[in-house]
Chains A and B, each alone.
Chain A
């Protein structure tokens, strides 16, 4: 079945970097774009952007340019989200989600990134 499996929770200090992985299975990885969505504690869903899994070209939503980086390793059907220079306000659950024709299905299980000194 189509599935996205994300890497586990991370606890990082301010200023550090983190790389979250999202491994796809059950479909041809390069046929669908991959999106990233953030959910801060107790808050709603915020679209971060997407990456073209054919070209590797990323597109970032406003507010997510700068220290967020989307990348791929198509040989292992995996997308990555790297966050550099972490700040406390980056504490959130980060989801990857396959995009069909605009909607997202399925979603990864989420990765909690906690930034604390």
Chain B
């Protein structure tokens, strides 16, 4: 099983600042990585797939990069609606696995 490790667990950021979230895979997943956003009481929402492709309707301030074992989700200028928990997920191998999440909170 591929273990996905996200860091940091919590990120405190001021509105308007940049946020950089990391996701590391225990073995290469190529570019088979997705990012999701989850707000309290809501279902996860797809942000990024194939490591760097924004899903339909996702604002350009969200960007993904990386391949192999190291990945990054960047939110260029945090808006109030971006404070949430973010998960990465690999789909290179079975079973599909998620990271434990990074909570982005208001500083």
Which residues of A approach B to under 8 Å, CB–CB?
35, 44-47, 49, 59, 61-62, 95, 97, 100-110
Contact = CB atoms under 8 A, between A and B. Distances in A.
A109 B87 contact: no
Nearest to A46: B98
A61 B89 CA distance: 15
B69 interface: no
B49 A103 contact: yes
A110 B34 CA distance: 20
B87 A35 contact: no
Identify whether the interface residues of B are mostly helix, strand, loop, or mixed: loop
A106 B96 contact: no
Contacts of A46: 98
A23 to B, nearest CB: 15
Given A100-B49, A102-B32, A103-B34, A45 B44 contact: yes
Given A62-B95, A102-B96, A44 B32 contact: no
A106 B46 contact: yes
Contacts of A106: 43, 45-46
A109 B43 contact: yes
A61 B44 contact: no
The 8 nearest A-B residue pairs measured at CB: A102-B91, A103-B34, A105-B46, A107-B43, A103-B49, A45-B98, A47-B96, A61-B95
B49 A44 contact: no
Interface string B71-107: 0000000000000000101011011111111000000
Given A95-B44, A109-B43, A110-B43, A104 B98 contact: no
A106 B95 CA distance: 19
A40 to B, nearest CB: 12
Contacts of B97: 47
A95 to B, nearest CB: 6
Nearest to A47: B96
Contacts of B36: 45, 104
B96 A95 contact: no
A104 B95 contact: no
6 contacts: A61-B96, A101-B49, A102-B34, A102-B92, A105-B49, A107-B45
